[in-house]
Chain A
């Protein structure tokens, strides 16, 4: 019964994965003939200063969006898991950013941040009137902010689920021992959430490799190359410059980065996760 799924996944998952490695050793303009090129593409890409730059930008997007989203999501998730009259309302509203396409979100923020006609000009707040997408540092900050805008609600809900699974008895015991709220948060909630943190971080980190749509529509990698992440680099080389060979090299690097990160995260916190949640029940 697993055969149909396997066929689809092999045809459009496994074969392309092998194919991208094969294509990285060829020359192809996307239309004409595919010719073998040996290690030429690899040599050229590995010497290209664009590669370390794209890797660095990708890493920065990943690290900064993780560092911003994780504490905020844990805090929000813990809060949402408590008793609150308006919790249900919050849960509905919090999901809306996740329903919008990244293209729609990018278009919206582009209009909002427009220095001439956007929010800043409309409200007459000089601070908001900046060339948000024209300055490398600002454009980078905008990307991180927009990513967080879309995904913090989702990760908050994951943490909310995690917090709800922590046995009440642990908090009651701690309360009897006189532990305050802050102490309980750091001694019970946070350690108990460690596998949720691994799950959420994995989704964030691996997901950050795929912020193509958002960055493509928002900045198209600009200004200059300031937000040119690996996925965008691959697209531009392959589908705009018609150099599928070098683009495939970038794609292989993208796959390796993804696998490396997933394995790293599992190493950090994944071991015997199956037992943790039921400890002390």
Chain B
């Protein structure tokens, strides 16, 4: 995983420019369409879309219609009763727990990762920082789930069992390796001359971090923020082992117990799936452009 090379400088500041695509388009117009790949994408697209479509339409069906109607037909008599049922249960509590755990973990995780990535890139000659970097890279290769038993022990010792802080602390640690990797790849692309000229103007390292590196690597910051938020929002194992009481449940765990409780009421379960996914979908739509360019640049080499 240490093999991710540096990328071209302009990528640090902007997603791939439109000009490149336009040139490509005109040059390739005489090509025949690629049927094999095209067909594969259409087929796989259908496979991806059908379950999602089914989740959405079914969540608006009444329970009796769910058994009676064609599964793919839009609901004959659409109802929001399922959503009402879910919202009137303890769903808002679980929702709030997920929001607290996610925001509480993502913001510190991105901040400390950015500072670490900055230090690693700027202090490339320090042996200690190189060693720190290798440690984080090693963290990428290790399935962190394997550490949940000691984490459970530590959380009990700290007296944090069955609190949201118990989810937040390990989530921050789990988020660091990948965040540092992606962020340091981008910080490395900030031209050295900019740092030099800021230093001549008397800027401190801290000043350069916030006023130069941070604004120039915004796509990467958005990328790791959305990515980590997604991981923590959807996290299942940590809440499963580190919390116990229903009022500390986060959404994925609540979905699971909801499914056990209302296994017969499939439309209501699916309505809760929709409600659970909506916030992250909104976050994704807002950050999409930068997320896609950030991810493909960060991994795609």
Contact = CB atoms under 8 A, between A and B. Distances in A.
Interface of A: 1-2, 4-6, 8-9, 11-17, 19-20, 22-23, 28, 30, 72, 75-76, 78-80, 82-83, 90-104, 107-112, 117-119, 122-123, 149, 152-153, 157-162, 164-165, 168, 181, 195-196, 198-200, 202-203, 206, 209-210, 212-213, 216-217, 231, 234-235, 238-239, 244, 247-248, 251-252, 254-255, 258-259, 261-263, 266, 270-271, 273-277
Interface string B208-224: 01000000000000000
Given A101-B276, A274-B6, A262 B141 contact: yes
Contacts of A164: 16, 296, 300
A255 B16 CA distance: 38
B296 A161 contact: yes
Contacts of B251: 101
Interface string B33-55: 01011101100110111011011
Nearest to B230: A99
Given A9-B173, A79-B41, A122 B71 contact: yes
Chain B contact residues (Cβ within 8 angstroms of A): what range?
Answer: 35 or more
Given A9-B173, A217-B256, A244-B149, 9 more contacts: A8-B173, A13-B173, A13-B177, A14-B135, A16-B148, A101-B251, A164-B16, A238-B149, A248-B150
Given A95-B284, A101-B252, A20 B300 contact: no
A234 B146 contact: yes
A162 B234 CA distance: 28
- SS class, residues of chain A in contact with chain B: helix
B177 A9 contact: yes
A258 B143 contact: yes
Interface string B122-158: 0000000100100110111111111111111110000
B3 A111 contact: no
Contacts of B299: 158, 161, 199-200, 203
Interface stretch (B20-28, B74-82, B87-95, B192-200): B20-28
A254 B145 contact: yes
B108 to A, nearest CB: 8
B205 to A, nearest CB: 8
Nearest to A159: B300
Nearest to A203: B299
Which of B4, B153, B241 has the most CB atoms of chain A within a 10 A radius of its CB? B153
Contacts of B234: 100-104
Contact of A103 (B52, B252, B266, B292): B252
Contacts of B259: 107, 110, 217
Which 9 A-B residue pairings sit nearest by Cβ, starting from the closest? A161-B300, A161-B296, A19-B150, A262-B141, A12-B173, A101-B234, A79-B37, A16-B147, A5-B116
B21 A83 contact: yes
B273 to A, nearest CB: 5
Contacts of A262: 1, 140-141
B269 interface: yes
A249 B132 CA distance: 27
B295 interface: yes
A210 B145 contact: yes
Contacts of B284: 95, 99
Which of A91, A107, A123, A252 has the most CB atoms of chain B within a 10 A radius of its CB? A107
Given A4-B112, A17-B142, A161-B299, A23 B51 contact: no
Which of A6, A157, A200 has the most CB atoms of chain B within a 10 A radius of its CB? A6
A122 B54 CA distance: 12
B270 A5 contact: no
A13 B25 CA distance: 47
Contacts of B109: 8
Given A20-B149, A104-B277, A80 B41 contact: yes
Given A2-B119, A108-B51, A255-B146, A99 B280 contact: yes
A199 B173 contact: no
A258 B145 CA distance: 11
